[in-house]
Amino acid sequence: DTGVSQDPRHKITKRGQNVTFRCDPISEHNRLYWYRQTLGQGPEFLTYFQNEAQLEKSRLLSDRFSAERPKGSFSTLEIQRTEQGDSAMYLCASSWGLAEETQYFGPGTRLLVL
Amino acid sequence: DQQVKQNSPSLSVQEGRISILNCDYTNSMFDYFLWYKKYPAEGPTFLISISSIKDKNEDGRFTVFLNKSAKHLSLHIVPSQPGDSAVYFCAATGENFNKFYFGSGTKLNVKP
């Protein structure tokens, strides 16, 4: 297993456009998390899935943000009508039942909104 | 709501000496505390964790200490090596692991 993967690694878009990011967790991991990280800050929690159920969602996640994990495997994070303030690194992490506190992070998707 | 804080943005240490990174938290309901290391252009990598029922956990050169009364934890790296140079994040979570709170990070520079 090669770990958590994210696609794309970089995305440049114009303000107002929609973007979608994909995360493929480690195959047996049932927990999946999305974070946003801006320069000089730590990862900021966005949302959490256990299998296909979205169990936790941050107030930071405005109605322009949506996430899915349709079959409990990969997940997508969509941002509609992007704003310049959405420019950040978007990180995905996964973990599993016997080591729930140990999250494995992907390399992230860096978004730049022009 | 900044529930986990790292007040030192950077730390410089000589190779072979001890590095001590500090972290404070405000929520007494946190059950697990973790440290992550991050290199540029990579995601954070899990380093070590501690349960709230313990006050110390050790893994090789890395030891985490938890002081619940002070709501403070620290990571000790002994001896420090140049390869330890990275940004270190502390994080905390509750018993359900539904949400993790991260500090803003401390950039450690270990000088040869």
pLDDT one-digit tens code per residue, B5-60: 999 999 999 999 999 999 999 999 999 999 999 998 889 999 999 999 999 999 99
- pLDDT band at residue B1, thresholds of 50, 70 and 90? low
Closest partner CB to A101 (pick from B6, B34, B99): B34
Regions of chain A with pLDDT less than 50: none
User: What's the confidence (pLDDT) of residue B41?
Assistant: 84
Task: Give chain B positions within 8 Å (CB) of A108.
Answer: 43
Q: Which residue of B has its CA nearest to A101?
A: B97
pLDDT of residue A1: 54
Res A24: pLDDT: 97
pLDDT the model gives residue A61: 77
DSSP alpha helices (H): ranges in chain B?
none
Mean pLDDT, residues B90-109 taken together: 94
Specify the 3-state DSSP secondary structure of B48: strand
Per-residue exposure over B16-50, b if at least 16 CB sit within 10 Å of its own CB, e if not: eeebbbbbbbeeeebebbbbbbbeeeebbebbbbb
Q: Determine the distance in angstroms separating the CA of B89 from the nearest CA of chain A, rounded to an integer.
A: 7
Assigned token pair, B100: 């993790």
B104/chain A closest Cα distance in angstroms: 4
Interface test with A, best of B24, B98, B101 (most A CBs within 10 A): B98
DSSP 8-state code for residue A85? G
Q: Give the pLDDT confidence score for residue B61 in this predicted structure.
A: 97
- Write down the pLDDT at residue A60: 75
Question: What pLDDT score does B2 carry?
Answer: 84
Q: Report how far apart, in Å, the C-alpha atoms of A89 and of each of A10, A21, B15, B98 are.
A: 9, 11, 31, 21
Report the pLDDT value the prediction gives residue B48, as an integer from 0 to 100.
96
